[in-house]
Amino acid sequence: MSLLRDVLITAGDALRFSSDLMRYKFDAQTKALKRSMGRLAFCLALYAAAVLLLGTGVGFILYGLFMHIAFTWGSVPAGLIIGVAVSLIAVLLLLIGRILMRRA
């Protein structure tokens, strides 16, 4: 009877140890995931700020080009040139986004 009791106690201890180990692994993975999500949110905030600043800078550059071309050639050719330039920039950004999404 003592041997059977010892075997059952040992099996119970092994199951408890396995359960504790799984809980520890789950807690470690949860902490790592929270840390990664925090870093990801911080990086996304920085990237969003950089994109806004970059967009503002590009807008001012395009406005300056438009004013320069409009002063030199007139407003219609300036509008066409700037429109084509903005369209090319938009296509370039779409292609870059597509390439980056393919890598992920």
Nearest to 83 by CA among 94, 72, 75: 75
Checking if the pLDDT of 2 tops 80, the result is no
Q: Average pLDDT of 34-39?
A: 85
**For residues 9-14, average pLDDT:** 74
Range of the domain at 87: 2-103
DSSP result, 40-56: HHHHHHHHHHHHHHHHH
Q: pTM, whole model, 2 decimals?
A: 0.52
Q: Tokens standing for 17?
A: 């140890």
- Our count of domains for the chain comes to 1
Residue type for 6, please?
A: D
